[in-house]
């Protein structure tokens, strides 16, 4: 029996227990290609943040429409992630990687050509479908390609892409929006995606699938339930938290989650084994990745509007201003990866969340562009550490045969955190998006700081050992 303290400090993954006697000589090349593909998917969560004001002006989008442009991709991406991982197991990861990347590339072309809000939202949704297929399948390829200590290093690289990709997306969005225009935040994916398709087709092994059935109903319930909750959060900014549209949407979402829980318990081939979700280290990892991503996306969403509408920055200036945040996030992930084996998941997660809360509080309490950038950079450092702690906590309690679905669950909550974070903070600071003022923007930062603080207190609870 593993003690709670031992479990809290566990950093190895169950997949490391399976050794491959003949390592693929192309494994590092495959990791590099899949890493670029994954970075492209993560970047697309935040790349539109800088371009939102320009999109809104060109396409006539109101606050709600802007929020959905930012949220629908992450929502579909996260909602179908587990289904994408299951599909990789059933038909083989190589096929799913190539199909998902092809769809994502074509949808990016459609988004860049969109001349209406409706077409842009459809394209963003299709991007999410492609990303949901490619991302977990790519992780499945990595787990099958690497073994032993090399697998640990490969997964570390993969985890670092989450925080760094969000920051890189804001920078790329600023450069492209100020240059050729906002459609190029989508067009840039087309040549990159095409080159990656050719390279991956050549270098990724055709791993066989295991056969079986896909839990389409479970995936639909998860996605639609979260869509209802996000809709409720969006409408709260316009109609109020106690209005009928807000309450009905939230109740529909809760009811949908209840149906999903019942379905998972009764299905012969559930989307995810309910037993996995009862282990505290798993729940802690999912909760941490949800909160960390929500905080990160909130920082970029609020920061983009604050710098452009309150401080008069151009999109390019805004993207460049977020460079320190990118550096802070990567530095936080690096430091956390080094100290986590010695300090444990609990200490790293609590420290990271407290650091994030301090940085966000500084941004909320002092009206200064310098303090704003310094504060959100500090917050980025803390969030980067939490990303690493989330992965370590979840994989410490996942058994070898659960590694794939555990990865899918972690990625799912990453995207749900992004969708929920931008929806919640846009509602809390709704007045600022209509009539920009420091006090109204500060409300959003105070809210994010409070979330980080509450999450830090919740993370103090010790983790039970895996059953």
Q: Summarize the confidence of residues 124-140 as an average pLDDT.
A: 89
Q: Report if pTM > 0.85.
A: no
Residues in Cβ contact with 349 at an 8 Å cutoff, skipping those fewer than 6 apart: 284, 288, 385, 386, 389, 390, 393, 456, 459
Write out pLDDT tens, residues 367-380. 788 888 899 899 98
Residues in Cβ contact with 430 at an 8 Å cutoff, skipping those fewer than 6 apart: 63, 237, 238
The first and second tokens of residue 275, run together, are: 């037993």
Write out pLDDT tens, residues 28-59. 888 889 988 988 887 887 677 778 778 888 88
Give whole-number Cα distances, 51 to 31, 82, 163, 181, 462, in Å: 30, 30, 20, 8, 42
Q: CA-to-CA distance for 395 and 119, rounded, in angstroms? A: 39
Q: CA-to-CA distance for 290 and 315, rounded, in angstroms? A: 28
Rounded to a whole number of angstroms, the CA Rg of the chain reads 21
Write out pLDDT tens, residues 255-292. 998 999 899 888 887 877 787 778 888 889 899 999 99
Predicted confidence at residue 52, as pLDDT, reads 79
Predicted confidence at residue 17, as pLDDT, reads 42
Confidence of residue 162 (pLDDT cuts 50, 70, 90): low
Q: CA-to-CA distance for 455 and 350, rounded, in angstroms? A: 8
pLDDT at 74 over 60: yes
Confidence of residue 4 (pLDDT cuts 50, 70, 90): very low
Buried/exposed 406-440: b ≥16 CB within 10 Å, e otherwise = bbbbbbbbbbbbbbbbbbbbbbbbbbbbeebebeb
* 436 in Cβ contact with 73 (< 8 Å): no
Q: Give which of 77, 47, 21 is closest to 415, Cα–Cα.
A: 77
- Which DSSP string corresponds to 266-299? H-SS-SS-GGGGGSHHHHHHHHHHHHHHHHHHHH
């Amino acid at each position: 029996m593993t003690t709670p303290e031992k479990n809290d400090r566990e950093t190895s993954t169950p997949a490391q227990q399976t050794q491959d006697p003949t390592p693929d000589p192309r494994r590092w090349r495959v990791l590099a290609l899949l890493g670029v593909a994954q970075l492209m998917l993560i970047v697309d969560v935040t790349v539109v943040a800088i371009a939102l004001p320009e999109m809104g002006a060109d396409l006539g989008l109101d606050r709600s429409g802007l929020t959905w442009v930012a949220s629908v991709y992450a929502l579909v991406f996260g909602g179908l992630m587990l289904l994408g991982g299951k599909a990789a197991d059933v038909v083989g990861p190589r096929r799913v990687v190539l199909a998902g990347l092809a769809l994502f590339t074509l949808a990016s072309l459609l988004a860049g050509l969109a001349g209406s809000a409706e077409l842009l939202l459809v394209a963003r949704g299709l991007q999410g479908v492609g990303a949901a297929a490619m991302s977990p399948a790519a992780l499945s390829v990595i787990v099958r390609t690497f073994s032993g200590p090399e697998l640990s290093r490969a997964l570390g690289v993969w985890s670092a892409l989450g925080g760094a990709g969000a920051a890189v997306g804001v920078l790329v969005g600023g450069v492209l929006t100020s240059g050729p225009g906002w459609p190029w935040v989508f067009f840039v994916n087309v040549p990159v995606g095409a080159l990656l398709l050719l390279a991956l087709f050549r270098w990724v092994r055709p791993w066989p699938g295991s056969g079986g059935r896909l839990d389409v109903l479970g995936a639909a319930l998860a996605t639609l339930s979260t869509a209802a909750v996000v809709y409720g959060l969006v409408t709260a900014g316009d109609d109020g938290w106690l209005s009928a549209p807000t309450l009905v949407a939230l109740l529909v979402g809760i009811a949908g989650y209840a149906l999903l829980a019942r379905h998972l318990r009764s299905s012969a081939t559930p989307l995810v084994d309910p037993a996995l979700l009862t282990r505290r280290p798993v729940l802690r990892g999912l909760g941490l990745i949800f909160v960390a991503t929500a905080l990160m996306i909130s920082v970029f969403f609020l920061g983009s509007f604050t710098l452009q509408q309150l401080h008069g920055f151009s999109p390019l200036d805004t993207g460049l201003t977020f460079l320190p945040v990118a550096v802070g996030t990567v530095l936080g992930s690096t430091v956390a990866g080094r100290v986590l084996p010695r300090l444990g998941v609990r200490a790293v997660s609590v420290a990271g969340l407290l650091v994030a809360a301090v940085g966000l509080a500084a941004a909320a309490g002092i009206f200064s562009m310098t303090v704003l950038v310094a504060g959100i950079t500090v917050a980025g450092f803390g969030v980067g550490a939490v990303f690493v702690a989330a992965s370590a906590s979840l994989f410490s309690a996942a058994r070898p045969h659960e590694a794939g679905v555990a990865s899918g669950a972690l990625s799912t909550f990453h995207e749900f955190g992004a969708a929920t974070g931008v929806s919640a903070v846009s509602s809390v600071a709704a007045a600022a998006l209509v009539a920009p003022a420091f006090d109204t923007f500060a409300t959003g930062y105070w809210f994010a700081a409070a979330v980080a603080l509450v999450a830090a207190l919740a993370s103090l609870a010790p983790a039970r050992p895996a059953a």
